[in-house]
């Protein structure tokens, strides 16, 4: 019977084309919207991960306990060897060492005397190694306001507001004054290559970005780093995987009390990010559920109307002596075939559009007054495993429920009145 019904649907386009099209559009919108919401709600997580937290972060135990103070005297040692080990053990992540530091930025006049100075928070990262993804990760090219990115040793970036405050332009000389990892005083000269917009008032007030090798020389931190950040190759944070990887790494290092023992933390285990990750998961589910319910009602109504419009056909079949149970079952089977076909096609189209938005994004930089490091300039979707079957709930089940409800009327039809109805 299934084969007979399938042939009927394929040959009678009026019974299959429009219902399948409606289900396809509904399912595609459901899948696309869920992927879009998941990606949109995760934008702030990714911004914080790229700039500060990473998807995973490795520090020493002592540094982690006092991270707000940026205690580089408790920094990681033998970083090149440790980074190589991390790349071998966790092949699904990219690892980048960074140095967090602070001090004074001094701008000299023509006589070498202090013209202006201000406190700064600094980041040392890999800017010069060919193939490094740090520039792209922090969107430094898009956030550049004046000048150019560092192209050689000794060149740095300042936040635009900070450079205006210090009255220093690209090409000018600046001096960093701070303390080394050993606690002694350091004075190191840099050339300002360019300025960037951070998109955050506190960061715009005083930020310096330098190549990590320059910072190592300035702070006497040869082959050392404050932290090593790990980023999933897919570009999106996966909390369960990150927590599992952190547990594996920490178990391998053992419960040592040494301040220099490396420890790994997932993004959700750092500061208040765990609360935000949980809120993002919850709100993504709520918003997606509301949209799925709304789309389910639309497809439910479509199935209901489709069944009601076929009452003339049902009357003829009953008048010819077909059993009411058989008519009811065939209508349900037909709606199931339409629901499966529409759900499969709709899911394929929804995933295709979601993949395009995930890969290329929607550029919204034109809607903002210039781009910045801490503000998203494009919106991206995020395809998750649930997107591969989510559309079947409104596509298949809602369509079948609509047919089930409309088909109840079959049992109320009186054969004696069928001919009178057919005459009309």
The continuous run of DSSP H or E covering 199 comes out as none
Q: CB of 377 within 8 A of CB of 368? A: yes
CA 154 to chain CA centroid, Å, is: 34
Can you state the percent helix, strand and coil of the chain, rounding each to 5?
55, 20, 25
Assign 3-class secondary structure to 309-322: HCHHHHHHHHHCCC
Q: CB of 223 within 8 A of CB of 78? A: yes
pLDDT of the residue at 373: 57
The continuous run of DSSP H or E covering 118 comes out as strand 114-125
Which residue shows structure tokens 């008048």? Answer: 319
CA pair distance 303, 19, nearest whole angstrom: 8
pLDDT of the residue at 157: 95
Give the ranges where 310-414 is alpha helix by DSSP (H): 311-319, 324-360, 392, 399-407
Domain ranges of the chain: 2-44+276-423, 56-236
pLDDT of the residue at 352: 94
pLDDT of the residue at 159: 92
Q: Which residues of 296-319 are buried (b: 16+ CB within 10 A; e: fewer)?
A: bebbbebbbebbeebeeebbebbe
Neighbours of 55 (CB within 10 A): 26
Regions of the chain short of the pLDDT cut 50: 4
Of residues 147, 165, 145, the one with CA closest to residue 155 = 147
CA pair distance 139, 185, nearest whole angstrom: 32
In 180-252 the beta strands, taken as DSSP E runs, fall at: 185-196, 207-211, 224-225, 227-232
DSSP state, 137?
Answer: H
CA pair distance 397, 70, nearest whole angstrom: 55
Of residues 313, 279, 276, 303, the one with CA closest to residue 422 = 313
Which residue shows structure tokens 């009327």? Answer: 409
pLDDT of the residue at 423: 54
DSSP state, 375?
Answer: B
CA 161 to chain CA centroid, Å, is: 29
């Amino acid at each position: 019977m299934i084969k007979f019904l399938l042939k009927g649907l394929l040959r009678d386009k009026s019974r299959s084309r429009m219902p399948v099209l409606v289900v396809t559009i509904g399912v595609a919108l459901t899948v696309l919207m869920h992927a879009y919401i998941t990606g949109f709600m995760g934008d702030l997580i990714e911004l914080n991960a790229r700039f500060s937290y990473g998807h995973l972060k490795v520090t020493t135990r002592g540094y982690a306990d006092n991270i707000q103070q940026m205690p580089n005297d408790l920094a990681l040692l033998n970083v090149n060897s440790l980074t190589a080990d991390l790349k071998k053990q966790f092949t699904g992540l990219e690892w980048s060492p960074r140095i967090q530091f602070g001090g004074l930025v001094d701008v000299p006049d023509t006589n070498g005397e202090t013209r202006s100075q201000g406190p700064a928070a600094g980041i040392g990262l890999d800017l010069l190694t060919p193939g490094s993804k740090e520039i792209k990760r922090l969107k430094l090219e898009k956030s550049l306001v004046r000048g150019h990115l560092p192209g050689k040793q000794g060149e740095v970036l300042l936040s635009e507001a900070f450079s205006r405050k210090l009255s220093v332009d690209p090409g000018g000389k600046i001096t960093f004054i701070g303390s080394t990892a050993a606690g002694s005083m350091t004075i190191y000269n840099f050339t300002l290559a360019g300025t960037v917009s951070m998109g955050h008032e506190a960061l715009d007030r005083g930020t310096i970005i330098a190549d990590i090798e320059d910072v190592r020389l300035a702070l006497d931190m040869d082959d050392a780093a404050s932290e090593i950040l790990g980023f999933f190759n897919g570009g999106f944070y996966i909390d369960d995987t990150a927590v599992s990887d952190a547990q594996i790494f920490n178990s391998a290092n053992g419960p040592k009390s040494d301040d220099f023992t490396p420890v790994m933390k997932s993004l959700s285990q750092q500061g208040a990010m765990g609360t935000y990750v949980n809120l993002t998961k919850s709100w993504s589910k709520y918003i997606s559920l509301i949209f799925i319910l709304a789309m389910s009602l639309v497809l439910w109504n479509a199935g209901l109307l489709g069944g009601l419009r076929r009452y003339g056909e049902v009357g003829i079949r009953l008048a010819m002596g077909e059993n009411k149970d058989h008519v009811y079952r065939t209508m349900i089977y037909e709606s199931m075939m339409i629901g499966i076909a529409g759900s499969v096609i709709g899911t394929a189209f929804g995933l295709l559009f979601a993949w395009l938005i995930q890969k290329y994004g929607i550029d919204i930089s034109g809607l903002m007054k210039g781009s910045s490091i801490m503000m998203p300039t494009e919106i991206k979707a995020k395809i998750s495993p649930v997107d591969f079957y989510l559309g079947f709930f409104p596509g298949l089940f809602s369509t079948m429920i609509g047919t089930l409800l409309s088909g109840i009327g079959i049992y109320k039809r009186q054969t004696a009145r069928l001919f009178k109805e057919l005459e009309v």
